[in-house]
Chain A
Amino acid sequence: MVFSNAQKRQLRLLAVVFVLALGALYQFGFSSQSSNKTTFGFQLGKEWVIIHQWVIQSTTGSRIFAGLAIVATILGIFLVRANKSPVVGTGFAAFALVMSFLCWAANGKFIPMTGLLQGSLMLAVPLIFGSMSGLLCERSGVINIAIEGQLLAGAFASGVVASLTHKTTFGLIVAPLAGATISLLLATFAIKFSVDQVILGFVLNVLVIGLTDFLYKKLLIPYQQTWNTGPSFSRIEIPFIGKLPIIGPIFFNQTIIVYLMYLIVGIIVFALFKTKWGLRTRAIGEHPTAADSVGIDVNKLRFRNVLIAGLVSGLGGAYFTVGSVGSFGKEMTAGAGFIALAALIFGKWSPMGAVTAALLFGFADNLSGTLTIIGVSIPSEFMLMVPYIATIIAVSGLVGRVRAPAADGVPYSRGSH
């Protein structure tokens, strides 16, 4: 049997998961004996309920799920041998591994599953906005390291404006503009003056962090009543589907910003692969000279896409303030822009890949919080490393070839190729 390189990679990944599953079976199922019962809760609010909660003996649960993970990897191997995609097998194995881990980690405590997943989505929202911004830039050939700065600028502007006007809507309107302002700087220097884009993005981040810190200290703290007590959006439950068990409260009982995010992701997925704009955007990110030779104005389209990207991540910034707590806090984005960048790379520069990666990172982040709250003695710092470890694994090629757009970060000018 001869395997292609892609299949070899899939088998290598399955082998890693298989070893992990064996390790889980030993560590979670046999090395520590416990007769405690772990409870998984599936009800959050007033949604319709199929199962209220599920109780299982901790060690038994770990063993069952580790066993299922092993079965799923074997299924995956058979799928590869049958020339099919093993994603069902790997996906289920990963899920079973996480469940095995939860049964062991919770060890007799209560795990609110719906709440855990809802919280994961909420932590993933800024990551998704950020990675969509990065995607729009990098697919057109401009590296965007300034996502962090754009998010922070959006958060600051929307918080302050909503506070001054007492209107969340104004905060929502001004946030994308703040993000686009950072993009304007990025686009001008990167495209017009061919400045190194990594350095430029880094400098923009430092600029925004410094500026917001300064204004926070000189304006927002002393005059908190007028400048930093903004209102925030309340949740809107979508009729009917908001009542669906488990997925209702997770996806359809959210603020307007989250619904806007669904819309933006949908538009980007459609536009990037199905429209004229998308074809041209991908073209200028891969081979700008070729695009120019068929009459596409490369730098104009790049400029426009970088501005749109700023609008997207600026809007994502609003989620930190008017989307949740209302008021602005110093450096409140806390590296979300960089994790968004990691999600973009982990997702291989594809929109759905980036969204999936952002959700995974959100889950890892929220899991560490939840485990700390229910009193599990795993250092939360360890869980916070997960996104970065996952990205390193992704870039090292274990999950498939990661290839950036060919002209990513390369300024274009005619005749310089």
Chain B
Amino acid sequence: MSLELKGITKSFGALVANDGIDLSVNRGEIHAILGENGAGKSTLMNIVYGLLQPDSGEIRVDGKVVTIHEPSDALAVGIGMVHQHFMLIPVFTVLENIVLGHESTSKIGKLKLSEAREKLLALAADFGFEIDPDAYIENLPVGVQQRVEILKALIYDAKVLILDEPTAVLTPQETDELIEVMKRLRSQGTSIIFISHKLREVKAVSDRITVIRRGKVVASADPSSSQEELASLMVGRPVNLMPDKKRPNPGAPILEVKDLVVLDPSGRPLVSDVSFTVHAGEVLAIAGVQGNGQSELAEAVVNLQAHIRGSIELGGVQLIGKSVHDSLHEGIAYVPESRELDGLIGSFSIAENLILDTHREAPYAKGITLSPKAVATRAEVQVKEFDIRAQSIQDPVTSLSGGNKQKVVLARELSRPVKLLVASQPTRGLDVGSIEFVHERILAERDAGRAVLLFSTELDEVTALADRIAVMYAGKILAIVDATVSREELGLLMAGVKK
């Protein structure tokens, strides 16, 4: 089956998310759509899958124009989609998730699952997947859940499969397995639309690459193009993928964590017996697949977790038992994982967000009142220094792009006297330009003699910035290795395999 998009246009208010996009996918082809966050990839795929309606343009399947108003219409013409956030119900079994929306029933309305079970087992056997139809989704590893998603599409005869950022939640090994599955699907005649911003994977698996920038198709590229060429097409200017890194010059230990345990409210360990040291002038990256205790570890360092045991010393001062305010003022800059939820107050202005930490200190506070003048003066300085692109410092911070929001967080956190920078997923969801800025800034802090504790799930980021890498798996640090370690070894560690 072939799929053709002609002149797809979709705007949300003044924002044109898709601007006359043409795209064609042939039978048995893996077609990658490459673009930055916000380039319009997801909008386009939601249109193809019937979750959004285009303002104009048409979709053709095997040359015939089709109208897709609902996901069910898309399924009917053979278009299936594996969403970035899985569309699986955690408390249902695999089989229940498979039949949902396609139930067959007996005369009195009782569900019939036996046919679907046989079909599922046969299909899984075809691919060599081991799937227990009666396992509950919430008990399955992410990689297996993704296979259930793929089977869910295939079992209803999807001939075109849309994979939306499928590797975001996978370990490197699971990613390799997924690539094998994609190749097998291709050989059986299934067409795949592969949406990603990860250049390495796109190069590894696609037959053709279409690059989208600001809602427009800007180029068709060949998989043999270099990563730099693809990145430049994506961003629209030359990009330096590997930040220039000076030789490390580590000094005295700044942060010493010993036997740290973090428990959830019901007493289960999220982080168990973690010990490590970060020195001045050094970046220690904590790598690992999302959900292995990194978020909790990051929060524990600034005392944002309630149930912690062990020892966290910053420059010889014990932090455990201190308030968050006191921990930060001992000399920690903290960039939280979610800038929207934890880093900023959306409805507050940029200037107000910049003094969230210091609002009670002079010159911003005068007795019990704030001094708007001092606040504004400081904001103007920082907006310049950190290149925050905003109309006015009085605009609410929600009006900024992701990259500029992150710059506000960095500007605030780095303007205190700081010994340690804790950055949790600092470039998640940012465009390439902002990623460059954040990376340079992190290395600048390191070169200025500060200790940096970086949490990242992106291998490329970890290897580009880190001097040493600690890999977390199931709440434990499996190993601390030198940054020169091979990707394969890192991948194995992230999957919990220790040599």
Considering only residues 246-291 of chain B, those with a C-beta below 8 Å from chain A are: 266, 268
Residue B362 is within 8 A (CB to CB) of chain A in the complex: no
Q: Which residue of the partner chain, among A271, A275, A282, contacts B92 with CB atoms under 8 Å?
A: A282
Neighbouring A residues of B75 by C-beta, 8 Å: 294-295
Which residue on chain B has the smallest CB distance to residue A292?
B71
Residue B479 is within 8 A (CB to CB) of chain A in the complex: no
- How far in angstroms is the closest Cβ of chain B from A268? 13
Complex contact A279–B51 (CB within 8 A): no
Complex contact A295–B101 (CB within 8 A): yes
A397 to B267, CA, bound (A): 13
Complex contact B96–A406 (CB within 8 A): no
Which residue on chain B has the smallest CB distance to residue A294?
B101
Complex contact B90–A294 (CB within 8 A): no
Complex contact A280–B71 (CB within 8 A): no
Residue A290 is within 8 A (CB to CB) of chain B in the complex: yes
Residue B454 is within 8 A (CB to CB) of chain A in the complex: no
Considering only residues 39-85 of chain B, those with a C-beta below 8 Å from chain A are: 46, 49, 51-52, 70-72, 75, 81, 83, 85
Complex contact B111–A275 (CB within 8 A): yes
Q: Which residue of the partner chain, among A275, A397, A415, contacts B110 with CB atoms under 8 Å?
A: A275
Residue B100 is within 8 A (CB to CB) of chain A in the complex: yes
Complex contact B88–A287 (CB within 8 A): yes
Neighbouring A residues of B92 by C-beta, 8 Å: 282-283, 286
- How far in angstroms is the closest Cβ of chain B from A239? 27
Residue A218 is within 8 A (CB to CB) of chain B in the complex: no
- How far in angstroms is the closest Cβ of chain B from A412? 13
Secondary structure dominating the interface of A: helix
Complex contact A296–B110 (CB within 8 A): no
Complex contact B72–A290 (CB within 8 A): no
Which residue on chain A has the smallest CB distance to residue B97?
A290
A interface bracket (residues with beta carbon within 8 Å of B)? 20 to 34
Complex contact B96–A293 (CB within 8 A): no
Which residue on chain A has the smallest CB distance to residue B88?
A290
A370 to B96, CA, bound (A): 48
Counting residue pairs across A and B whose Cβ atoms lie within 8 Å, the total is 79
Complex contact A295–B70 (CB within 8 A): yes
Neighbouring B residues of A277 by C-beta, 8 Å: 109
Complex contact B87–A290 (CB within 8 A): yes
Residue B105 is within 8 A (CB to CB) of chain A in the complex: yes
Complex contact B89–A293 (CB within 8 A): no
Complex contact B71–A279 (CB within 8 A): no
Neighbouring B residues of A414 by C-beta, 8 Å: 51-52
A291 to B100, CA, bound (A): 8
Neighbouring B residues of A294 by C-beta, 8 Å: 71-72, 75, 87, 100-102
Neighbouring A residues of B87 by C-beta, 8 Å: 287, 289-290, 293-294
A415 to B85, CA, bound (A): 13
Residue B103 is within 8 A (CB to CB) of chain A in the complex: yes
- How far in angstroms is the closest Cβ of chain A from B46? 8
Complex contact B72–A279 (CB within 8 A): no
A282 to B86, CA, bound (A): 17
Residue B219 is within 8 A (CB to CB) of chain A in the complex: no
Interface centre among B70, B91, B96, B101 (most CB of A within 10 A): B101
Complex contact B105–A276 (CB within 8 A): yes
Residue B150 is within 8 A (CB to CB) of chain A in the complex: no
- How far in angstroms is the closest Cβ of chain B from A202? 27
A328 to B72, CA, bound (A): 50
Neighbouring B residues of A283 by C-beta, 8 Å: 89, 92, 100
- How far in angstroms is the closest Cβ of chain A from B413? 30
- How far in angstroms is the closest Cβ of chain B from A112? 42
Residue B99 is within 8 A (CB to CB) of chain A in the complex: yes
A359 to B86, CA, bound (A): 40
Decide: A293 near B83, CB < 8 A? Known: A275-B111, A279-B96, A287-B90: yes
Complex contact A274–B100 (CB within 8 A): no
- How far in angstroms is the closest Cβ of chain B from A284? 10
Could you give, for residues 8-20 of chain B, a 1 whenever the CB lies within 8 Å of some chain A CB and a 0 otherwise?
0000000000000
Considering only residues 13-56 of chain A, those with a C-beta below 8 Å from chain B are: none
Neighbouring A residues of B110 by C-beta, 8 Å: 274-275
Which residue on chain B has the smallest CB distance to residue A403?
B91
Neighbouring B residues of A282 by C-beta, 8 Å: 89, 91-92
A279 to B81, CA, bound (A): 21
8 additional contacts (CB under 8 A) given A295-B101, A414-B52: A279-B96, A279-B100, A279-B103, A279-B111, A280-B100, A280-B101, A283-B100, A291-B100
Q: Which residues of B contact A (CB under 8 A)?
A: 46, 49, 51-52, 70-72, 75, 81, 83, 85-92, 96-97, 99-103, 105, 109-111, 266, 268
The 3 closest A-B CB pairs, nearest first, are: A295-B72, A294-B101, A290-B87
List 5 A–B pairs whose Cβ atoms lie within 8 Å, in order of A's numbering: A280-B100, A293-B51, A293-B83, A294-B100, A294-B102
